[in-house]
Amino acid sequence: MRVSSTILAAAGLLTSANAAIKGFNYGANFNNNQAKTLVDFEYEFNAAKQLPGTDGWTSARLYTMIQHGTQTNVIEAIPAAINTKTSLLLGMWASAGQANFNNEITALKAAIAQYGTAFTDLVEGISVGSEDLYRVSPDGIKNKSGAGAQPQELVNYIKQTRDAIRGTPLEGKPIGHVDTWTVYVNGANNPVIEAVDFIGMDAYPYFETTMNNNVGSGSQLFFDAYHQTVAAAQGKPVWITETGWPVSGETLNQGVPGADNARIYWEDVTCQLIKDNVNLWYYILQDVQYGNPVPSFGIKPAGDLMAVSPLFDLSCPASSKPKPSSSSTSWIVMPTGIGSSTQLNAPTSQPTIVTIPVISFDRPTPTVQISSINWIPSPASSTPINLESLESLPQPTFTPLQEPFEYPHQIIPIDKSDLTKVIGNGYIVQLSPTISIVFVYDIRPEFAGKTCTLALHMPSPFPVPDMAPVHIRVPGGIGVSRLVNQVPDHVSSQSVGNSSFVGAVQMVEMARQYDIASFPCEAGETVGYQVYSTVTNNITPTTPTAKRYLTICSTTYPYPYPSHPIIITCIIIIIIIIIIIIIIIIIIIIIIIIIIIIIIIIIIIIIIIIIIIIIIIIIIIIIIIIITTPITPVQKNKKKTTPGILVRLCVYRDSR
């Protein structure tokens, strides 16, 4: 776990009021043509801010205003930038004809209408087109680079863009064009230079195959191109919109791809541009998701963007750091810890002292040492205090949960990467180098005169890890401070107020209880405690929507003791699932019984019908027999006669 100095103190940092923009290029889709979504863009923007050895890479250059796969929908990078406070160099694709550019204008207007100043305040500029002139140049045609646009077409598109933003919050934002440096030194393209407010220059010494393009000459080739572009820019600012050295691919002339050479180019070119305060969008953070481009320029390899490490060192020599201008802004900031520094820039023409609330000690101390890490406390402290090393801080005990205890009635995440962001009361705790949690307790009056212990209770490992109410994604500990002021429901990093250090846990493990600190119960009071993670390596997510975090439960108990609504919620969910399963089983059994009964009834009915049919048949047979058989009458006292002879007595009269 990376140790975060937010637990202990704050550091002063002096930054230039007009620091240059630093960012990366972001495409609208992955290599498999799958559109990037809001979550994808947020994930990439946040990953750029957390690159080890860097600070201030908080800008994104886009190529289009249209969400990939749609006709006029606003690209989801816009709300992602708003959510992550990422500045934007907007892109308007200009190589697909007037009809497509009309769609770009429609999407731009829709973004202004939908997101208002939350969007427009983040816009650094608008780029009309990207390498359109190069693609219609002899080199572009030779390299089969695709459709482009002629100078006059671009001038027309630039005018349409100015007309589209007139009277909107974007009016006055610089409008420019992005292309290769060779385009700008060609006098035939001067109408485009005249029409724009800034020049966006793309330059890759690796592709300069007609020159000595080994990485050792990369810096000279790049800055020769840059100075020629500046000379042709008619006094307009030149922004570096694409540059880089491939980490893999084919050798072109003397240009050899590789991470080691990319590091050399980064130090020679990127760090120099940072030192010179030149606006820069590097190509690219990662380009191997769902595909393998050749060459590949991504500073991170394939895989989870936050989980994988950069392919080369991204730090710059101290001599490459930009010098502060005479008009500067002083910030009190909370560094993210070892191997990382966070610089917050507030462009302004007026020098302003802005204090970002962090932990300040009730007991003054100018320097706090933990292991080999030195922390600089906030200015509120003035005299030294010796603090125990993490190794001697609270170790786990195994006291079972017992009454009485208090659980927090508010759980409020605080995001130090966004000073004004208000998250509000939450139901799940996520601790990371940038996210801390404020637990608010209502200590009951009956606890007056008793001793309260702030404790952390970790349950036993869950049989099914994915269903566990508590996850430790990365090993590490926590630090705790007590807030000086009461905490409102809606609080941000900037308004949380000062706090005093209470204690820390070196390593949090499952099935453990940690007694962090004991003190007289503040009966009848509402008390807030801010909990920070202390990590010694990067906290990274496994998927874009599942960030890595340490989920914990915490409560004060007299002994006030930890509990968390998420546990109750999980139990309730499990019970509900079991009840539903039982109900389903009962319903199935009932249905089966009903079916069996129906079958029996049907069988009985069939048997009855068969019996009735048999009876009817018998009756019919009897009737037939009766009808077809002759009946001989019985004659009494008759003499027998010869069968078949009719004896007739005839009486004749004698006529004589």
Q: What is the DSSP letter of 446?
A: G
The rounded distance, in Å, linking the Cα atoms of 138 and 556 is 73
| Alpha helices in 186-282, H assignment, sequence order | 190-195, 215-232, 259-265, 271-275
Query: Which of the residues 131, 153, 267, 406 is marked catalytic?
Result: 131
What is the 3-state secondary structure of 162-189?
Answer: HHHHCCCCCCCCCEEEEEEHHHHCCHHH
Q: Which residue matches tokens 């006709």?
A: 71
Task: Name the nearest CA neighbour of 513 among 394, 405, 404, 406.
Answer: 394
Q: What is the DSSP letter of 515?
A: E
The rounded distance, in Å, linking the Cα atoms of 618 and 612 is 10
Q: What is the DSSP letter of 343?
A: -
Cα→Cα distances 224→185, 203, 281, 455, Å: 12, 10, 19, 62
Is residue 538 within 8 A of residue 473, CB to CB? The reply is: no
The rounded distance, in Å, linking the Cα atoms of 176 and 332 is 35
| Alpha helices in 497-635, H assignment, sequence order | 565-628
The rounded distance, in Å, linking the Cα atoms of 204 and 143 is 15
Q: What is the DSSP letter of 269?
A: I
The rounded distance, in Å, linking the Cα atoms of 276 and 270 is 10
Task: Name the nearest CA neighbour of 239 among 124, 376, 408.
Answer: 124
The rounded distance, in Å, linking the Cα atoms of 385 and 388 is 10
Note if 522 is an active site residue: no
- Across-strand partners of 528? 440
Q: In 3-state terms, what secondary structure has residue 103?
A: helix
Note if 242 is an active site residue: yes
Cα→Cα distances 200→6, 24, 519, Å: 39, 14, 61
| Alpha helices in 30-137, H assignment, sequence order | 38-49, 77-84, 98-120, 132-135
The b/e string for 27-66 (b: 16+ C-beta within 10 A; e otherwise) is: ebebeeeeebbeebbbbbbbbbbbbbebbbbbbbbbbbbb
Catalytic residue ranges? 131, 242
